[in-house]
Amino acid sequence: MQHFELQGQVREAAGKAALKAIRKQGLVPCNLYGCGVKDILFTVNAKDLKAVTDTPKAYIIDLKLDNGKQYNAVLHELQWHPVTDVCLHVDFLAVNDSKPINIQVPLVITGHAVGVQQGGKFYQNARSIRVCATMANLPDEVTVDITSLGLDKRIKAGDIKLDKVAVTTDKDAIICGVKTTRNTVVSSEEA
């Protein structure tokens, strides 16, 4: 999995007024916890954070704090302003090489479905899938080949098999499929 380096400044203040002042400076208040790490409050530059939040890609984030400490982490929870869509707060979950990581990874669809060539319509319900693996085995993306997908057929999360990676999305969740259209029904009656 790709790594992304993010610089952070440790903060002490946690009150409402202090957080408001931090946000006015163009910083986002953050929290790091998990994997034996005691809660660490810090801030990151809002522009630097956009490189991680405004992309469908998944990253292992290398946090470098101004106190000299470094941590590997993943985005755990983001809080957004309901009107302006500005990131208000980020929770990072510390990770290490020994414990499995549960993370959302983007899906890449490849191939041309047989059902579409027969007149059906392709649909995609999910753009990402949740997987669990150790840091060394995490994929950057999950590729799904739809070449053999016929009319009224679908691919579910349980159909995706990966080496050394467990798919933790609900196995009945529909990833994509091909549905029959009216044109397909008419052409089959004519035949």
CA 128 distance to own-chain centroid:
6
Q: Could you tell me if 15 and 88 lie in one domain?
A: yes
> What is the value of pTM for the model shown?
0.81
Boundary residue ending a domain (96, 129, 149): 96
When pLDDT is cut at 50, 70 and 90, the band that residue 181 belongs to is confident
* DSSP 8-state secondary structure symbol assigned to residue 126: -
Boundary residue ending a domain (38, 62, 96): 96
Q: Could you tell me if 137 and 160 lie in one domain?
A: yes
Percent of the chain whose pLDDT exceeds 90:
77
Q: Could you tell me if 50 and 118 lie in one domain?
A: no
Boundary residue ending a domain (96, 121, 152): 96
- Looking at the predicted structure, is the pLDDT value of residue 165 above 60? yes
Please give the residue range of the domain that contains residue 159.
Answer: 102-190
Tens of pLDDT along 53-98?
998 899 999 999 999 999 999 999 999 999 998 999 999 999 998 8
Q: Could you tell me if 110 and 80 lie in one domain?
A: no
Cβ 128 vs Cβ 134: under 8 Å: no
Q: What is the CATH number of the domain that holds 150?
A: 2.170.120.20
Cβ 131 vs Cβ 166: under 8 Å: yes
Q: Could you tell me if 92 and 132 lie in one domain?
A: no
Residues ≥6 apart with Cβ < 8 Å to 39: 31, 32, 33
How many domains are contained in the chain?
Answer: 2
Q: Could you tell me if 34 and 85 lie in one domain?
A: yes
- Position 187 scores a pLDDT of 57
Q: Could you tell me if 65 and 106 lie in one domain?
A: no
